[in-house]
Amino acid sequence: MADSTIDASPLDDVDATRLALAFHLGRIQYPQLSIAAEAFVRHTVRAKGVFEAKSLAPREWSAFLGNLYAFDWLLACGCLEGLDRAWDILFRTRTGRSDCLLVDALRARSCRLYPRDAEKQERAVQEFWGHLIVSEIEGATPILLRYDGQRPLAPWLIRVFQNWHLSNLRKHGAPMALPDDDLAMPQQPTSETDVRWNEAFCEAAYAWLNEIDDQERLILGLRWRYQQSQRDVAQLLGVHEGTVSRQTDKLRDRALALIGQRLIADGWTGDDLEGYILTEMAGVMLDDPRLSADHLQRLLRARGKKL
């Protein structure tokens, strides 16, 4: 059991009480996060210094704590303390769009940054996730250590992800920008040709999704949305790992066959049809309510399971 006694020596009694309140409110929201009060205070004192360094001016503790997002801040502290449960919660944090997980929002943003490059899209998300507490450049401050608790955590991470990759892209080409509104939206078609094939693809993809059953939908959602391994999915669903592997391969083959046949019948003459299908599938799966986090949870609850 983590020590929950607040010892906030840098603060006066009133501000120490406010800090203790923020800590205990966070623990009520996330009782599964066993964070020591000493660690919470240490990270908060450091974050105030981070905020003041950015604003180039000192800030009273009362003002800093008054604007502290207590739940997000406790979650960030849990991640910095290396708590697996904290990382799991952060991974599944909801963003501004209804039923859009943080990892979904990062993937969608990656689709806009690197259109038609599925490998780069996935690598971009994985690299960003890895650099949250380990800096990409030796001596630089890791991403999560720059968070000061003065704004909601998930939108801040999405914005940092966008700016980080835009900066990298600008090093290798002309300046570019993405709109600030609705950061979770996937890449939209820009030409008449793109629109035509996007519409044909979406129609075929939804027809394929209509054909799969709840077991297949669970496997697809757990493997793709939650990034679970075949072993984890098998244990959760109570089936053999080989069953998950075979069903995953079958899902992929059926998707490629059905959607590919539909696009060819509509006159597809481009290269790498398989790559196009796999790349465009991300946007469809993000938006299909049958693969939403809430719907997957309902399917699991119906089986007496939970994530």
What tens digit of pLDDT does each residue of 232-266 get? Answer: 899 999 999 999 989 988 888 888 888 888 888 88
Per DSSP, helices labelled H in the chain are 13-29, 37-55, 61-66, 70-80, 84-91, 102-113, 118-130, 153-170, 192-211, 214-220, 230-237, 241-265, 273-287, 293-302
Burial of 230 (0-12, 13-18, 19+ CB in 10 A): middle
Residues facing residue 101 across a β-bridge:
94
> What is the reported pLDDT for 177?
44
- Show me where the domains of the chain are located: 13-91, 102-170, 192-302
DSSP codes, 158-171: HHHHHHHHHHHHHT
Dist CA 230 CA 302 (whole Å): 21
**Residue 43 banded pLDDT, cuts 50, 70, 90:** very high
What tens digit of pLDDT does each residue of 141-162 get? Answer: 889 999 999 988 988 898 888 8
Is pLDDT above 50 for 188?
no
Longest dimension (CA), the chain: 74
Is pLDDT above 70 for 93?
yes
> What is the reported pLDDT for 171?
64
User: Helix, strand or coil for residue 127?
Assistant: helix
- Phi/psi for 101 (5° steps) reads -75, 160
Asked if 110 contacts 169 with a C-beta cutoff of 8 angstroms, the reply is no
Q: What is the pTM of this model?
A: 0.61
